[in-house]
Amino acid sequence: MTERTLAGKSALITGASRGIGFAIAQRLGQLGTRIVICGRDQNAIDAASTRLRGQGVDAFGISADVSRSDQVSSLVEKALARFTTIDFLVNNAGTGRFGPVQDFTEGDWDTVLDTNLKGVFLVSRAIVPSMISRGRGHIVNISSLAGKNFFPGGGLYCASKWGLLGLTYCMGEDLRAHGIRVTAVCPGSVATEFGHPSTKNVHKMLQPHDVAHAVEMVITAEPQSFISEVVMRPTQKP
């Protein structure tokens, strides 16, 4: 892996106290990236950053709600103060509520859309100026196959992820002239604590480290090109 080392680079990963976000932090950290992780639960973020440091990763955690612009501004300010630059932004924070649309409230809609879609907009908007000033950077948005498909009870979640793909592609067009690459990673069901009730076999599902591998792949692509989307499915249907 020496030819693909990311030593000296830095990354901000949202929703990284566990699951996919933590696996991405581990993988990029193993390649030498300095890591900033964030999440809403300060205790969980502290525990995750301690684990990363115990594995030799230069990491620290910041508590932030990505759906709130004031907290996002503080998050990015602290991250840049710590590492000066952020080379990679991984928008992973997400939530889901599942069931018939008519059973949900306006508050349920706001919770899902504000976290999964508005949060990506807010964090990206805060990071992009520093990337533009340096003429480089990479933003990876963790979407889902739910952004390309539909299923009963998925109205709120699918709406957020379909919207996220639209936002990702438009960001890619807006930012490519500035040397900034934007990628959507769309996994199927991943064996994490997140998700709606399921009888799927977790051993046949995608694992967090599978998604981390995809993120590594896209950000280590040669600089003259970028991968706009990665669609991931398990080898066997769970």
In the predicted structure, residue 197 carries a pLDDT above the cut 70: no
- Is 194 or 231 the better-scoring residue by pLDDT? 231
From the list 83, 98, 157, 162, the catalytic residue is 157
Q: Take residue 215 and report the two structure tokens written for it.
A: 């993120």
pLDDT value of position 198: 62
Q: Which residue has the higher pLDDT, 164 or 205?
A: 164
Q: What's this model's pTM, rounded to 2 decimal places?
A: 0.94
- How much is the average pLDDT of 77-90? 97
Map out the domains of the chain as residue ranges: 2-232
State residue 167 phi and psi, 5-degree precision.
-60, -45
- For the domain spanning 2-232, the CATH number is 3.40.50.720
Specify the DSSP element, H or E, that contains 10: strand 10-14
Please name the residues in contact with 26: beta carbons below 8 A apart, sequence gap of 6 or more. Answer: 52, 55, 57, 209, 212
Is 157 one of the catalytic residues? Answer: yes
3 has a pLDDT exceeding 60 = no
pLDDT at 223: 86
**Residue 52 burial (10 A CB sphere; 0-12, 13-18, 19+):** buried
Provide the percentage of residues in the chain whose pLDDT is more than 70: 96
Assess whether pLDDT exceeds 70 at residue 33.
yes
